[in-house]
Structure formats: structure tokens, C-alpha cells
Structure 1
């Protein structure tokens, strides 16, 4: 599973098509998407419900196999890997941040952060753990369990856990969806900081224009197709584009934040 040389894209989808069900009655979630995410950038993926944004993330991260097309991550062609190779690649080269945090309640903060390395049979260096916990502002919470932390603190642990393996890319699936506005902004600032200061690559799926405005670029999907993108986005510009896509056609004015 040696990496192949390619462009500066750490993740690239080429003509990716994903159909759920059979050819006759199947649902087309992605209809031939070509998309690249460059190293050291922050990309947000948005779109109406059913647009294919979550499927796009799952295919990019090797969590779901495309029906056809190519996915290359950190120089590795994912579509040709078996399940064992995919698992190893996800474990070693990808970090994940979920809306529900996905921390193990019986483990303390340090143990949750160390978990990906332990699952990979690698020893976590204490200095590395201390560094990522300091970066997310949890140096004084090392021995607390998730139940003793706020939602924002739990998501900070999840970010530290994603960073500890020094992944090629971090994928976030609605990473601020369960947080209040102030805490969400703090978490987004941490992800932005990781991109700016250590050259981390971050890709998130979100429905929130404010979250998307922290990204370098917002990619819009509609009906399984790329429907445009914005660079250096503002929350207002993202909201306007989403309205044009019909994402909030049934939402009363003034209720989107």
C-alpha cells in the first residue's frame, strides 16, 4: 500500500458516483463528483438535505465505497483497497470529529486521546499527548472522564484525539451541531488554528453558515452534483447561496443562524 505521487490535493474525488440500491430502482446520492482538497486548507461542504454531502464525506474518508470513480487520499487510491487496508489507512492517516463526540465514558481525557494510537499498536508519547491537550486548552482536565466535562470540552477532547496521530486530514461531520453558539465558535477557532499553525487539512460537513465561514472554501452540493463554491466565505454569502439552492425554502425568514 505504497503512496503514489500526485498533485497537492491531500484528498481527491474523481467522477465519484454512489448509488444505493440496484441500477433500476437505486437512489443516486452522488452523480459523478470531481473534487479536490489541498493540503493545509479548511474546506466546508454544504447543501440541502439529501444533496449528497454526507455521502461525499463518507466516500472521501473511506467509510463508504463509491459505485464508480476514484478516491485518492494522501497518495493512496482507496477504491482498490480491501477492508483491512482501508481500516489501517483510516486509523493511521485520518482523524474524525463527530457531532456526538464519540468518547468512551469509562476512559479519562488522556486515555481517550491515546486510544487511536493504542488501537494501532503504537505507544503514545506523553509529550505528544500533553502538546495536543495544551493546544485545545485541556491541560487541567487530563484525568477527568467525559461525564465530568461540558459538551465543548468533550469536543475539544475529540479534536485532540483526531490530532494525536498527526493525520493527513481531519474529517468533521457536523462537528459543532451539538454545541451552543459560543462554544461552537471556540471549537471552530481551534480547527482554524490547526490549519494555520501546523498545516493541518480539515474537511467538514455542516448546515451552519457561521461554521462554514471559518473555512477557506465552501463547496456546495445539490442533487448529488457540485453546485458551486465560495472562497474566503462570509456567513451572509453562504446563507445567500444556500437560499439559492433551495436549502431553506420552507424555513421562515430570520430563523437561520
Structure 2
């Protein structure tokens, strides 16, 4: 097994410009003989203005990793720094505020409210945070995701790709430091998925956001700057400037690496 934590001084994605950083993060569910270690001492950082794909077989710890990194779950031990703030011991109210203002989320299931229009769904995080929407910013975000002609529509009137664009716009409207994406193309056809991935890359290029994306799809992963691989709750490998075929081959052998 490749020990990534032992090479922190030489890895370019471990610099102090990280938008998100995990240090020796363990996450254990349950107690005693029935406990399960979902994360086994993960240390990694994600630099500002980059896109990283996180991959691994079922049960490898990807979802737990994402939840701990985003402050949706608390590690059993270790620390998580998000947008320059240590969040591990942060009180829930302050953590909720930080997530609302500095973190965006994009999920496979879109998570749009069916009774709200596109515009209302996009600006929902601002209203929940008690902030008045900046009309110019909202209009700019809507234009960026290609929904200028759809602001009065409701989710049921949109295609799957358009709904995911709404979800991305909703994630962008608070000017987040980090966007966490959990299988963002999993419910989309191939052509629409490529359009959404292109949009995410554009977000990184023009907006300077950091994207951490969990995916099972080598093609989706190939749009990232780097791919990191999890097996049995441990980081076991990494690829820079990944190509889909190379990612697929690594995934094929990942189970063997995780058992080594």
C-alpha cells in the first residue's frame, strides 16, 4: 500500500494554500467488537483553485471522507481545516454558518425544492442565511450556468442536466471557497454529464473555487486536476492529470492495493 501521509512534504497538493485539509483523520462507527473504522488516519490537502476526484470501491470510505471534509460529520480523531478554520471542535451553530456561507454542495439527486422556481432554488441558501440576494451576482451565476431563460421554471419542467445546473448555481451563489460534489453526474446521460463536468471545470478556472468530487466514473475523474484513491478507509494512490483509461486500470487493481 502506498503511504501518502509519509510524503506530505513533497506532495504539491499538501501545501499551506489548501482550501481543505485533513490531518490524521480517523472515523469509527460503533463500539467494541462491532465497530467499523471507515477512515484510518487520512492526511491530505486540496489546494485552492483545483478540482480533485475521490474514487474507490464500495465501502472504501468515500462518503465518510466527503462528510468529514465538509463538516457534515465529525471525525473520531484528527483535524479538519476548512477555508483556513479548524472545524473539528467548532460548535454546531458556528459550523452550520460556515457551511452555509463558505461551502457549496452538489449531489447526484439535485435536491431541489419542487414548489420553488429556478431563481428561488438558486437563492435559497442566501435566504436561509438571512442575506439579501445581490441581483448582479445572481444574474451572473445564472448566466454562467446557462439558465437565463429558465428562471421562472420549476424543477419538473427541466431536464436532468438543467436541474443539475440549478444545483451548481445554488452552490455558487454564496461565493463558496469549496464545492463538494457527490456523484454529480451519476443521474445524467453521457452527453449531459460531459456538459456538467465542463461547467465544473469552468467554475474552477474562472471563479477560483476548489472542487472535491466523489465519483465512480473514470471519465468524470479525468476532468479533475488529480484523482486520489481510497481503499479500506486509507489513501492508497494518486494520479495527476488523469486520463480515463489510466483511472479505470487503477480502479481495477484497487482492491489488491487495499489488501496489501
Q: Does 1:54 align with 2:95?
A: no
**Which of 202, 206, 209 is matched with 1:193 structurally?**
202
CA shift for structure 1 position 41: 0.1
Root-mean-square deviation (CA, aligned residues, Å) is: 1.0
Tell me the equivalent position of 2:253: 244
CA shift for structure 1 position 23: 3.9
**Which of 226, 235, 255 is matched with 1:226 structurally?**
235
Residues 113-165 of structure 1: CA distance to partner in whole angstroms, max 9, x if unpaired? 10001100000111111111110100000100001000000000000000000
Unaligned 5+ residue runs, structure 1? 1-5, 248-257
How do 1:1-257 residues align onto structure 2 when only pairs under 5 Å count? 7-246=16-255
CA shift for structure 1 position 199: 1.0
Question: What is the aligned length?
Answer: 242
Unaligned 5+ residue runs, structure 2? 1-14
Runs of 4+ in 1 over 3 A off after TM superposition: none
SS of match in other structure, 2:149: helix
SS of match in other structure, 2:174: coil
**Residues 54 and 227, structure 2, Cα contact 8 Å, conserved in 1:** yes
Q: With structure 2 as the length reference, what TM-score do the two structures score?
A: 0.92
CA shift for structure 1 position 24: 3.3
- 2:86 & 2:198 partners in 1: Cα distance? 31
Q: With structure 1 as the length reference, what TM-score do the two structures score?
A: 0.93
SS of match in other structure, 2:64: helix
